[in-house]
Amino acid sequence: MDKVIERVKEIHQRLHIPYKWSYGSALTRFFTEIKDNKRFVGQKCQGCGKVILPPLGFCSVCFVPTTEWVVVSDVGELHSYSTIHYNFPGQPTTPPYVYIFIKLDGTDTFFQHITNATEDKLRVGMKLRAVWNEERKGIFTISSILSPLKIRMNSRMNSRRKICTRMSVSC
């Protein structure tokens, strides 16, 4: 018996779906610490000992609840990056832009960030340092490109002769 394949009907329309998003208790503390104390905090897992950043309230490795807070470094290493060229609904900024994945010193997970840097200025393994803005809101905003870190490309050489890029924290 031959199978009849129907063409899927497409409906083209624009949807507007307003919503509120809650940080939850772990991210609320994370952003409050950035705003009020100019520091990053993560959570240490009692099960496997990993330091999770940004904090989730549970370990993303072994899934046990995390309650121990630890202050982590504002220096990290760039592990990966990718340029987004495709325009799609809900983007925080207009392409092209670059997603970077940072592992802050003393943490065991990656922290993603949208940056205004271009690929030619980035190198896997380069060290990044947070530079705290004077005015911080503790919320995601378009001006901070939906991330607490914003790279300002003022590069200098550090004592190990690796490029050190300063990150401006604008949350």
Q: Which letter, b or e, does each residue of 51-77 get, where b requires 16 or more Cβ atoms within 10 Å of its Cβ?
A: bbbbbbebbeeeeeebeeeeebebbbb
Q: In what order do the strands lie in the sheet with 51-52?
A: 51-52, 40-44, 68-72
The model's pTM is: 0.68
Rounded-to-integer distance, Cα 152 and Cα 101, Å:
16
Please give the average per-residue pLDDT across 84-102, as a whole number: 84
Please give the average per-residue pLDDT across 80-98, as a whole number: 85
Query: What are the tens digits of pLDDT across the range 133-165?
Result: 777 665 543 333 223 344 443 333 333 333 334
Identify the weakest region by mean pLDDT among 6-15, 54-63, 87-96, 132-141: 132-141
Rounded-to-integer distance, Cα 135 and Cα 45, Å:
32
**So what's the pLDDT on residue 138?**
59
**How many residues appear in the chain?**
171
Query: What are the tens digits of pLDDT across the range 9-33?
Result: 777 888 777 777 788 899 999 988 8
